[in-house]
Amino acid sequence: MGKPVVCLDQVVIRFAGDSGDGMQLTGDRFTMDTASLGNDLSTLPNYPAEIRAPQGTLPGVSSFQLHFADHLIQTPGDAPDILVAMNPAALKANIRDLPRGATIIVDRDEFTTRNLSKVGYATNPLEDGSLESYKVHAVGLTSLTVAALAQLSLSRKEAERSKNMFALGLLSWMYHRPTEATENFLKAKFGKKPEILQANLLAYKTGWNYGETSEDFAVSYKIAPAKMPAGKYRNISGNVALAYGLIAASQQSGLKLFLGSYPITPASDILHELAKQKKFGVITFQAEDEIAAVGSALGASYGGALGITTTSGPGLALKSEMIGLGVMLELPLIIIDVQRGGPSTGLPTKTEQADLLQAMFGRNGESPVVVLAPSTPSDCFDMAIEAARIATTYRVPVFLLSDGYIANGSEPWKIPDVSTLPDLAVEFAKTQEDFLPYLRDPKTLARPWAIPGTKGIEHRIGGVEKADKTGEISYDPTNHDLMVRARAAKVAGIDIPDLVVDDPSGKAEVLLLGWGSTYGPIAAAVELLRANGEDVAQAHLRYINPFPKNLAEVLQKYPKVIVPEMNLGQLSMLLRAQFLKDVIGYNMVRGLPFTTTEIIEATMEVLND
Amino acid sequence: MTENVLTKKDFTSDQEVKWCPGCGDYSILATMQSFLPELGIPRENIVFISGIGCSSRFPYYLNTFGMHSIHGRAPTIASGLAISRPDLSVFVITGDGDALSIGGNHLIHSLRRNIELKILLFNNRIYGLTKGQYSPTSEQGKITKSSPTGSLDLPFNPISLALGAEASFVARTVDTDRKHLTETLRAASAHKGSAFIEIYQNCPIFNDGAFDLLKDSDTKGAALLQMVHGEPIKSATHGLVHDGASLKLVELATVAESDLVVHDAHNPDPAYAFALSRLSASELDHVPVGIFRDVVRPGYSSLVNNQITEIIAAQGAGDLATLLAGGDTWMVE
């Protein structure tokens, strides 16, 4: 009321605090309210592996970044325009990412001598002039929250817990976010605890009112809705999209969905989501270990279900032998690897793409599998359906390589019309005389899916090499050679779409070729490069084994091919080996997605070479 | 194909049996082939899943569905199959190395969950397929290729282990006693949840005669303590009496028949079955055979499928369009 309103085309906000401060929840709520306004958006949660690291320390800092705009965007943004820091640790951990001129909102109450020294601040940055090049709002988030809740019979500690809602209220005022959805969310979440509900609602409202009345905040901002294709939208993360895609595949195929899984970060949310969906007949089996998880999925597939296992890198290492059995048995199996930093335990909550070669080759013997990689959170839905189509059509293990970035990141998703989803009907082997369990379909090279309970086709299969057609044990040298080549030919011949190249001029000399989750930063970089008059082409691999049939031709067309990957060059290695193309790798393993700037700089280097 | 009554021949596959001459597996196979028709279950609804080892060749020789999987992991595959296909009868065939060494974790968790599997552990106390190393049930001090100066490992007691894993059906029998083996299979098949059967099995090549004490006519009478529900537990020479909270072996001549422990396989207290399992270890002078424990506990796949049925009954079957459009949504015109 009365305060000026400034219109912006995009904003990047980062909420940062102690891992117990509720920053992920705050970010999630701001995201939902932003989505409902029709802005395009992209999010990047970033949290420590420790559930509660010591309070107020650098390792305990958790953050949530949100980029929203009045136009289509591809990434959560390189650098925040505004940082909300709930304590000195959050400020210190994030300040280096802030461009000069950025806005910082801090909880002044947390900048005590003790908290400052905990993170190595000799002097108070709010007072020593070190933040001069930023717009700093030092707000007593804790004391204002506690004062606002004084009327309730809460302890100080309980009252303090609502300070994240104060911050959310303040930011919601600043950016004109609607409040109704968050209020409803709080009512649903704390409906059974009226005191806590009241505290959260009150803190939220007080934060909003503080923005409106305090002289500290002179302007608020509006971001118009983005122009997006018409339709109904929701916000979705990669893990939820994967779970939904699997359910859709189960519905479209008429196959029972069986998930065998062992909890592991950052894949567990797929298990959590599917465990909620029993009304779809979904069975989730939390197995005793990673091996049992994939073993049970393979057993379910043998029985005619859609067998799926979800994991991350270390878990995948344990599953190798069972996946090899899946290759030998030629049964459908979906293996979802939500990649994280490795090797070993590595960086459990950070993103990386370094399991590509493990997926391709991490088994004994010649053991070909299909490898797919979704490119964005919402693409996880489509690729889950693709994984099911390929696994059930070709009776082969299919890997889906997601990663921490798109698994936890979210974006608006135009909800698909279910009548447009592909028909995934499968055909099981029927009762017949002289059944041959390893007789291949001439077109797909798949063997019959012959499930127990079918009269007259009783047969025995196993991990020992199979004789062609009969499937009996065979140690014959010629047969082994034949079968090894048949399994490889089956995977090589899988029907997948050609690689689409985005090259508006048709004359670009440099191609940016990515795979999986790097799509966002690469696409954003390409957009900016072209806006600056640079001619670059872009293509993105969602199918890695087999590669699209036109890939050789695409690689040949461009003199320079840059391959950005969050690993030390695994796709580059495959491309060089298979196509003898000396691609230019751009590689980083910092546990974070590429920034747009990084990709632009790497591309400029090649363009200027 | 249209005959309803099946015979042993119907369950015999066309594969040539390739165990060593004199192997105890032959006897178990023949007993199983003779027993299966009695179940009255169509062949196509029976599945045998094995791991790796000599015993794990078993599924090839039965004309049912079968899978010869990988080392130690048969219970995992069988679990996925049994949970998703409760209409099937699923058997797991395993050995002492397969079940108790490389696959120990899966065995205990299958039993704990009470998944509807019949698990047959062929215990020959040796690694046969890898040509004679000591196994997790080999006696301490055993001289083998990998223990030329004697094995140092304390062996597992498979029955104690199964009971510790909360198994609801636990039994022991001997490969060559076809009558006793058949009775045990019959009881296991009638049991609703997991059934665990340890079968002492002779390896004529690497551990020949390991169970002779239980087979020779002049020793077996005294060595085998017969456990029959509702009857006193005794061998030809000894009987079992209560000793405080525990059990004690005494010579039959020293007690009245009425003082002997009357076997109760349905005793809800697992401590009773556990005490029975401790009566013998590596030495085989007094070995309880029969059913240690047979108690009723809901099977896992029935619990899993009941949850689904109840939720669908209460909420209706899931609708994909509703799921996808759940949560906060907005329209773009």
Residue A229 placed within a domain? no
B85 to A304: CB separation less than 8 angstroms, yes or no: yes
A225 to B316: CB separation less than 8 angstroms, yes or no: no
Residue B294 lies in domain: 8-228+286-307
Minimal C-alpha gap between A250 and chain B (Å): 10
A232 to B323: CB separation less than 8 angstroms, yes or no: no
Query: Chain A contacts of B45, Cβ < 8 Å?
Result: 452-453
Tell me A337's DSSP state.
Answer: E
pLDDT more than 90, % of chain B: 95
Total CB pairs under 8 A between chain A and B: 211
Angle between helices A596-607 and A519-531 (to 10 degrees): 60
Residues A168 and A139 in one domain: yes
Whether A295 contacts chain B with CB within 8 A: yes
Q: Tokens 């957009």 — which residue? A: A527
CA-nearest residue to A252 within chain B is B320
Query: Chain A contacts of B107, Cβ < 8 Å?
Result: none
Q: How many structural domains is chain B composed of?
A: 1
Q: Which of A441, A464, A495 marks a domain boundary?
A: A495
Residues A256 and A401 in one domain: yes
Whether B311 contacts chain A with CB within 8 A: yes
3-state secondary structure A164-225: HHHHHHHHHHHCCCCCHHHHHHHHHHHCCCHHHHHHHHHHHHHHHHHHHHCCCCCCEEEECC
Residues A411 and A432 in one domain: no
**Is the peptide bond between A521 and the residue preceding it cis, with omega within 30 degrees of 0?**
no
Supply the pLDDT for residue B5.
Answer: 86
User: Residue B327 — pLDDT band, cuts 50, 70, 90?
Assistant: confident
- Would you state the structure tokens that stand for residue A234, as one six-digit string? 């929701």
Length, in residues, of chain B: 333
- In this model, does residue B3 exceed pLDDT 70? no
Query: Chain A contacts of B4, Cβ < 8 Å?
Result: none
Whether B317 contacts chain A with CB within 8 A: yes
User: Residue B1 — pLDDT band, cuts 50, 70, 90?
Assistant: very low
Whether A480 contacts chain B with CB within 8 A: no
Residues A262 and A332 in one domain: yes
Residues A487 and A531 in one domain: no
B105 to A181: CB separation less than 8 angstroms, yes or no: no
B329 to A459: CB separation less than 8 angstroms, yes or no: no
Residue B172 placed within a domain? yes
Minimal C-alpha gap between B104 and chain A (Å): 11
* B80 → closest Cβ in A35, A247, A307: A307
Residues A112 and A18 in one domain: yes
A447-466 residues touching B, CB cutoff 8 A: 452-464
Classify the phi-psi angles of A500: left when phi > 0, otherwise alpha if psi is within -120 to 50, otherwise beta. beta
- The enclosing H or E element of A543 equals strand A543-545
| Average pLDDT rounded to a whole number, residues B81-91 | 98
Whether A260 contacts chain B with CB within 8 A: yes
Q: How many structural domains is chain A composed of?
A: 4
Residues A32 and A68 in one domain: yes
Give dist(CA A197, CA A178) in Å, integer: 19
Residue B317 placed within a domain? no
Residues A277 and A304 in one domain: yes
Whether A233 contacts chain B with CB within 8 A: yes
- Please state the separation of Cα A206 from the chain's center in Å: 34
Query: Chain B contacts of A279, Cβ < 8 Å?
Result: 308, 311-312, 315-318
Residues A269 and A361 in one domain: yes
Mutate which of A458, A466, A470, A474 to test chain B, going by most B C-beta atoms within 10 A?
A458
Give dist(CA A436, CA A429) in Å, integer: 10
Low-confidence ranges of chain A (pLDDT < 50): none
Minimal C-alpha gap between A454 and chain B (Å): 6
Give dist(CA A532, CA B303) in Å, integer: 62
Residue B198 placed within a domain? yes
Supply the pLDDT for residue B2.
Answer: 45
pLDDT digits (tens, 9 = 90+) for A41-87: 999 999 888 877 888 999 999 999 999 999 999 999 999 999 999 99
CB A451, CB A302: distance < 8 Å = yes
Q: Which of A223, A250, A285 marks a domain boundary?
A: A223
CB A517, CB A593: distance < 8 Å = yes
CATH code, B99:
3.40.50.970
Give dist(CA B257, CA B232) in Å, integer: 8
CATH code, A558:
3.40.50.920
Residue B319 placed within a domain? no
CA-nearest residue to B60 within chain A is A460
Residues A124 and A177 in one domain: yes
CA-nearest residue to A466 within chain B is B68
DSSP string, A427-446: -PPPS-SS--TBPPPTTT-P
Residues A508 and A413 in one domain: no
CB B214, CB B174: distance < 8 Å = yes
Show Cβ contacts of residue A485 under 8 Å, excluding neighbours closer than 6 positions: none
Long-range contacts of B255-262 (CB under 8 A, 24+ apart): B257/B232, B260/B232, B260/B233, B260/B234, B261/B232, B261/B233, B262/B230, B262/B231, B262/B232, B262/B233
Residues A137 and A202 in one domain: yes
Whether A104 contacts chain B with CB within 8 A: no
A279 to B59: CB separation less than 8 angstroms, yes or no: no
Residue A364 placed within a domain? yes
A454 to B44: CB separation less than 8 angstroms, yes or no: yes
Nearest partner of B59 among B11, B22, B102, judged by Cα: B11
CA-nearest residue to B69 within chain A is A462
Residue B320 placed within a domain? no
- The enclosing H or E element of A537 equals strand A536-541
Residue A128 lies in domain: 5-223
* A296 → closest Cβ in B65, B79, B326: B79
Minimal C-alpha gap between B324 and chain A (Å): 7
CB B97, CB B203: distance < 8 Å = no
Residue A568 placed within a domain? yes
- The enclosing H or E element of A490 equals helix A477-492
Query: Chain B contacts of A288, Cβ < 8 Å?
Result: 105-106, 109
Give dist(CA A17, CA A86) in Å, integer: 5
pTM of the model: 0.95
CB A537, CB A352: distance < 8 Å = no
Q: Tokens 């391959």 — which residue? A: A563
B67 to A279: CB separation less than 8 angstroms, yes or no: no
CATH code, A114:
3.40.920.10
CA-nearest residue to A284 within chain B is B304
Residue B261 placed within a domain? no
Whether A54 contacts chain B with CB within 8 A: no
Give dist(CA A481, CA A465) in Å, integer: 10
B332 to A228: CB separation less than 8 angstroms, yes or no: yes
Query: Chain B contacts of A280, Cβ < 8 Å?
Result: 317-318, 320, 323
Q: Which of A463, A495, A527 marks a domain boundary?
A: A495
Residue B235 placed within a domain? no
Whether B321 contacts chain A with CB within 8 A: yes
- The enclosing H or E element of A67 equals strand A61-69
Residue A228 placed within a domain? no
B80 to A300: CB separation less than 8 angstroms, yes or no: yes
Whether A334 contacts chain B with CB within 8 A: no
A363-392 residues touching B, CB cutoff 8 A: none
Distances (CA, A) of B7 to A7, A545, B42: 84, 48, 11
Residue B236 placed within a domain? no
Whether A25 contacts chain B with CB within 8 A: no
Distances (CA, A) of A560 to A471, A567, B63, B87: 47, 20, 60, 59
CB A433, CB A474: distance < 8 Å = no
B80 to A297: CB separation less than 8 angstroms, yes or no: yes
Supply the pLDDT for residue B4.
Answer: 65
At residue A260, φ and ψ (nearest 5 deg) are -105, 120
ipTM comes to 0.97
Supply the pLDDT for residue B194.
Answer: 98
Whether B313 contacts chain A with CB within 8 A: no
Nearest partner of A508 among A530, A524, A525, judged by Cα: A530
- Would you state the structure tokens that stand for residue B253, as one six-digit string? 């001549």
Query: Chain B contacts of A35, Cβ < 8 Å?
Result: 328, 330
CA-nearest residue to B109 within chain A is A288
Residue A366 placed within a domain? yes
At residue A198, φ and ψ (nearest 5 deg) are -60, -40
Whether A246 contacts chain B with CB within 8 A: no
A474 half-sphere exposure, CB direction, 13 A CA radius: 18
Minimal C-alpha gap between B189 and chain A (Å): 18
Minimal C-alpha gap between A325 and chain B (Å): 7
CATH code, A326:
3.40.50.970
Minimal C-alpha gap between B297 and chain A (Å): 19
* B333 → closest Cβ in A230, A300, A302: A230
